[in-house]
Amino acid sequence: MKKILRIMKITFFLCFLFVQQLHAENVYSQSANINLKTNQLSLQELMTHIEKQTGYLFIYNKKDIDTNSHFPAPSPTAPCL
């Protein structure tokens, strides 16, 4: 019984240390800026612009997402969230 209790304490301590190391910082994905020079974009065009300007890669199933749908582009000064 003491051995199990010791293992539980060690496990809890290690989990606690691990969680303490996970803290949010201002990382690149939260501060990326994208320049768009058009008013209307399809989802495919928007993803292409983002991939070229940031190096991000979109992985999706074409059956689930209509990439030909058009929508107004956000303001050039609007933050990317």
Does the pLDDT of residue 81 top 60, yes or no? no
Q: For the residues of 4-72, what is the DSSP string, one character each?
A: HHHHHHHHHHHHHHHHHH------GGGS-------SEEEHHHHHHHHHHHH-------TTT--TT-EEE
Residue-wise pLDDT for 10-53, tens only, equals 999 999 888 877 765 655 556 677 777 777 888 888 888 888 88
Instruction: Output the pTM of the full model.
Output: 0.53
Residue 18 has a pLDDT of 85
Is the pLDDT score of 78 beyond 90?
Answer: no
Query: Residue 40 has what pLDDT?
Result: 81
26-61: burial string, b at 16+ Cβ within 10 Å, e else: eeeeeeeebebeeeebebbbbbebbeeeeeeeeeee
